[in-house]
Amino acid sequence: QQQVKQSPQSLIVQKGGISIINCAYENTAFDYFPWYQQFPGKGPALLIAIRPDVSEKKEGRFTISFNKSAKQFSLHIMDSQPGDSATYFCAASNNNNNDMRFGAGTRLTVKP
Amino acid sequence: KAGVTQTPRYLIKTRGQQVTLSCSPISGHRSVSWYQQTPGQGLQFLFEYFSETQRNKGNFPGRFSGRQFSNSRSEMNVSTLELGDSALYLCASSLGGTNTEAFFGQGTRLTVV
């Protein structure tokens, strides 16, 4: 069932560094690619999302890079902070179908 | 603006019992999706309701069912509970239509003993 592959499974970054999480998808019908951040005991929170008509989207310290031909997209967290320590999920869905497929998640730890 | 509300937050049930979980979406949102989250399987799509109709269904057995009311609130029911049903059940709401931006509730932690 997994249609979105996410890596790495875990990531440790020093404060101020860049965190990079990668995802690859299979279904070319996907046209909406969000990233979610989840803290323990909480539901996932929408962080940033992109549609395939653009190759990059930036919101503050968070940037999504999207490569349609390679069917890959990635999340870059610039100037990573300890408060960014959480589990990050990429996802993909079809505009006409709210069946969202999630990656397995990346546990990010930012060391002070 | 209130977020997505799920009740109860925690639930302990015995094998063979049934359970009903509730989700109140963000005001104005007409689409409600349900997900099961477990350490081993991650986030898996259960089903999605829009305007009281089930539009999509994931690959789960018929013991998992749901419904949506005219006020967009949704319930999920699991019958004949199994130990493997222990999970965090999350619902997400969105406007629906072509806007798929989904917002999650905090989830209901179900433990089956």
Confidence of residue B91 (pLDDT cuts 50, 70, 90): very high
**Given a cut of 90, is residue B36 above it in pLDDT?**
yes
Interface A-B: count of C-beta contacts within 8 A = 65
pLDDT score of B60: 95
pLDDT score of A29: 87
More confident call, A51 vs A22 = A22
Q: Which of residues 56-95 of A touch B (CB under 8 A)?
A: 89, 91, 93, 95
**Is the minimum CB–CB distance between A34 and chain B shorter than 8 Å?**
yes
Query: Is there a contact between A95 and B59 if contact means CB atoms under 8 Å apart?
Result: no
The encoded tokens of residue B19 equal: 């359970």
The encoded tokens of residue B77 equal: 């029911």
pLDDT score of B101: 83
pLDDT tens digits, A39-89: 998 999 999 999 989 999 999 999 999 999 999 999 999 999 999 999 999
Task: For residue A82, give the 3-state DSSP assignment.
Answer: helix
pLDDT tens digits, B65-87: 999 999 999 999 999 999 999 99
Task: State the average pLDDT over residues A85-102.
Answer: 85
**Given a cut of 70, is residue A2 above it in pLDDT?**
no
CB-CB neighbors (< 8 A) of A32 in chain B: 100
Selecting from B44, B100, B103 the residue whose C-beta is nearest the C-beta of A98 gives: B100
Task: State the average pLDDT over residues B6-19.
Answer: 97
The encoded tokens of residue B76 equal: 């999920």
What is the strand order of the sheet A72-77 is part of?
A: A4-7, A19-25, A72-77, A62-67, A56-59
Whole-number Å distance between alpha carbons of A19 and B43: 22
CB-CB neighbors (< 8 A) of A91 in chain B: 43
Confidence of residue B56 (pLDDT cuts 50, 70, 90): confident
pLDDT score of A97: 60
- For residue A91, the number of C-alpha atoms closer than 13 Å in the C-beta half-sphere is 30
Confidence of residue A91 (pLDDT cuts 50, 70, 90): very high
Q: Which residues share a beta bridge with B65?
A: B77
B interface with A, Cβ–Cβ below 8 Å: 4, 6, 31, 33, 35, 42-45, 48, 50, 55-56, 58-59, 90, 92, 94, 96, 98, 100-107
**Given a cut of 80, is residue B4 above it in pLDDT?**
yes
Percent residues over pLDDT 90 in chain B = 84
pLDDT score of B99: 60
Determine contact, residues B34/B89, Cβ cutoff 8 Å. yes
